[in-house]
Amino acid sequence: MSDIIDLTPLRGVRVTPRLNARFAEKIDRSGECWIWIGLRDGAGYGLFTLTVTSPRGLAQRTERVHRIVYEAIHGRIPRGMRVLHGCDCPPCLRPDHLRAGTDRDNWRDRLSRGRLRIPEGAAALPTRKSFAGWSRQMKISNADVAALRETYASDPDSTVVDLARRYSISPGFVRLILLGKTRKKAPGPLVGRIRKVRSPNAKLTPSKVIELRRRYQAGGETIYTLAPNYGVSPQIISQALRRETWADLDDGVPAFRRLRYARRRWARKLSPNDVEAIKVRVAQGVSKSQLAEEYRVSRGLIYDVLKPHAPTPPPTPPPVC
Ligand SMILES: [Zn+2]
């Protein structure tokens, strides 16, 4: 085989001896592979800029050098084919290390060299018809996409960043997967929007907020009885119930405009359920001191609870004109 790579056969390129010399200068032939020592791209392939004739005149075209070499020797690369390295060395451009092949050939090569991870549940190699388990990026399998989407939909505390870390993909890719902007055919529930990122110092989590809203909606609780359960102030509970905070949680609980107001002194310490229980137990003969101790309130408060209170007056009807 000739040691000289002659670019003259390239179509649309005026190749001068000077150009050939410039090309040859950037090749290190000291080893088995001929290594391009000029500019390389991110994947390690050598790059070379050629002046080509185009319908609009002369144009600069930067191409991967192994493709230039292949074209100079074998002519145009067939449509849909790639130029593959038999030596698995991207910057190599030694002609007898290069061959044309399909994507599938490329995958097979990479697989046999251990440079490809087969996603769990995927066919050993994707075929033209079946990409089951393979993504275009081959970064995450369909099974993992489904699991990722399920987790995000079912666990309100899961975050994009956590999922990205768990599946070793970028947060941006996770967002696209969740929104269905990529991996459209992969299974799993999609979301209409991504949840807001919360401060890691927040005492409430999305799941706690959903829970406290449901408890409040079910009745029997006030902001005062809920607050100690969540280690936050009644004001924080109030904001969450009015949806002034955590407005983007899809929990199906409406925003409460008017919160159950704690009219009575004991309402700050005892829930309506507690009050009912206390009444029943007093009727059963349990002592007020014992109940006061049990509920950690003063005896006076137990007396207050038992006092009959005036029924809430009906709302005043609007004046009729
Ligand atoms: Zn090589």
Q: What is the pLDDT of residues 56-87, one digit of tens each?
A: 888 888 899 999 999 999 988 888 788 999 88
Q: Is the dihedral of CA 124, 129, 130, 131 positive or negative?
A: positive
Q: What's the CA-to-centroid distance between 32 and ligand 1, angstroms?
A: 7
Residue 214 scores a pLDDT above 90: yes
Q: Identify the band that residue 20 occupies on the pLDDT scale cut at 50, 70 and 90.
A: very high
Q: What's the CA-to-centroid distance between 29 and ligand 1, angstroms?
A: 10
CA distance 158 to 176: 16
Domains identified in the chain, total number? 3
pLDDT digit string, tens, across residues 236-268: 999 999 999 888 887 888 888 887 765 566 667
> Which two structure tokens, joined as six digits, stand for 6?
């002659």
Q: Select from 68, 85, 112 the last residue of a domain.
A: 112
- Residue 13's SS3 state is strand
Q: Select from 79, 112, 145 the last residue of a domain.
A: 112
Q: Select from 63, 94, 112 the last residue of a domain.
A: 112
CATH of the domain at 68: 3.90.75
In a domain, 272, yes or no: yes
Q: Identify the band that residue 175 occupies on the pLDDT scale cut at 50, 70 and 90.
A: very high
CA distance 76 to 72: 8
Nearest-CA neighbor of 163 among 140, 134, 132? 140
Report the chain's mean pLDDT, rounded to a whole number: 83
Show the domain range for 79. 17-112
Distance of CA 115 to the CA centre of its chain: 25
CB contact at 8 A, 99 and 108: no
In a domain, 175, yes or no: yes
Residue 311 scores a pLDDT above 70: no
In a domain, 9, yes or no: no
Q: What is the value of pTM for the model shown?
A: 0.41
Q: What pLDDT shows up at residue 19?
A: 93
- Asked whether residue 154 falls in the same domain as residue 240, the answer is no
The CA–CA distances, whole Å, from 209 to 230, 247, 248, 250 equal 9, 10, 11, 11
Residues with CB under 5 A from ligand 1 (ion): 33, 87, 89, 92, 94, 97
- Asked whether residue 128 falls in the same domain as residue 155, the answer is yes
Q: What's the CA-to-centroid distance between 92 and ligand 1, angstroms?
A: 5
